[in-house]
């Protein structure tokens, strides 16, 4: 099973980051920006699967969708990934990965850093789950978000995890500076990496907006397949 995971990591496009390297480090934030329905959750789930394959834990927080819908995203994308890379014993590998994922839901209005700390303390205090990566999918970015993000960044640093966020932009969203769409410029200093998804014919381009030069170089040639939503 170990060799199977290593082989899949190596052959997956995100394998360019290496077996022991994440795109962002503990205490850092990443953002995935796009219009509705373009593929933010699909990309976030694949970032999570890549982390899970390396025996690291992912806490997936959804503010819009129920647990069963998020579970289906993971299962379908893993199946596509296994088929695309001709993975044998895919069912066994899937069962092996599941303990590395925990899905948590909040109502949008009910999400706050104190509430997240409380629920995470229930998991870590009982030694149930200790996340290395946290995904927050569905957070609304408005004038009150900055304080929430700043508190969360301190918490991420204290608890040694990194976090990825989905960020919704509208079709006619204003482009404020250097091609970066709103609302990212309002909180750009809190994010270390930002990726925008742009539909282009049969594929969806992954366009790095911010990040270290080597990360931008590694990720700038990647796309999402519009039918399978797999990174290629």
CATH number, domain with residue 46 = 3.40.50.300
Highest mean pLDDT among 160-164, 200-204, 221-225: 160-164
The answer on pLDDT for 46 being more than 50 is yes
Nearest C-alpha neighbor of 198 from the set 174, 218, 216, 181: 181
Question: Pairing mode, if any, of strands 29-34 and 193-200?
Answer: parallel
Look at residue 108 in the predicted model and tell me its pLDDT.
75
For the chain, the straight-line distance linking the first and the last C-alpha, in angstroms and rounded, comes to 24
Gap between the Cα atoms of 12 and 59, Å rounded: 22
Is residue 22 in a domain? Answer: no
Task: Find the mean pLDDT for residues 187-215.
Answer: 91
- Would you say the pTM of this structure is higher than 0.85? yes
Gap between the Cα atoms of 193 and 190, Å rounded: 9
Is residue 131 in a domain? Answer: yes
Question: Pairing mode, if any, of strands 58-62 and 133-137?
Answer: parallel
Please count the structural domains in the chain.
Answer: 1
- With the CA atoms of 31, 134, 47 and 50 taken in that order, what torsion angle do they form, in degrees rounded to the nearest 10? 160
Is residue 135 in a domain? Answer: yes
The answer on pLDDT for 33 being more than 50 is yes
Is residue 231 in a domain? Answer: no
The answer on pLDDT for 172 being more than 60 is no
Is residue 230 in a domain? Answer: no
Helices in 126-180 by DSSP H: which ranges? 145-159
Is residue 76 in a domain? Answer: yes
Is residue 19 in a domain? Answer: no
**Mutual orientation of helices 40-53 and 2-11 as an angle, nearest 10°?**
140
Q: Which domain holds residue 124?
A: 2-13+28-225
Look at residue 17 in the predicted model and tell me its pLDDT.
46
pLDDT digits (tens, 9 = 90+) for 86-119: 777 888 889 999 999 999 999 877 789 999 999 9
Q: Which residues of 152-161 are buried (b: 16+ CB within 10 A; e: fewer)?
A: bbebbeebeb
Helices in 107-183 by DSSP H: which ranges? 113-125, 145-159
Is residue 133 in a domain? Answer: yes
């Amino acid at each position: 099973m170990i060799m199977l995971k290593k082989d899949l990591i190596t052959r997956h496009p995100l394998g360019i980051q290496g077996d022991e390297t994440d795109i962002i480090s503990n205490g850092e934030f990443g953002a995935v920006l796009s219009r509705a329905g373009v593929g933010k959750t699909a990309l976030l789930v694949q970032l999570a699967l890549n982390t899970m394959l390396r025996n690291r834990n992912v806490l997936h927080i959804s503010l819009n969708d129920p647990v069963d819908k998020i579970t289906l995203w993971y299962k379908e994308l893993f199946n596509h990934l296994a088929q695309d890379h001709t993975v044998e014993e895919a069912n066994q590998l899937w069962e092996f990965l599941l303990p590395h994922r925990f899905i948590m839901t909040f109502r949008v209005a009910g999400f706050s850093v104190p509430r997240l700390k409380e629920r995470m303390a229930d998991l870590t205090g009982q030694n149930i789950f200790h996340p290395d990566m946290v995904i927050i999918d569905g957070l609304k970015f408005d004038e009150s978000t900055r304080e929430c993000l700043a508190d969360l960044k301190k918490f991420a640093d204290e608890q040694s995890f990194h976090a990825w966020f989905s960020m919704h932009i509208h079709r006619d969203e204003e482009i404020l500076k250097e091609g970066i769409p709103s609302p990212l410029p309002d909180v750009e200093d809190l994010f270390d990496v930002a990726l925008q998804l742009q539909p282009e014919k049969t594929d969806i381009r992954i366009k790095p907006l911010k990040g270290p030069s080597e990360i931008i170089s590694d990720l700038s040639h990647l796309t999402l397949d519009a039918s399978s939503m797999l990174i290629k």
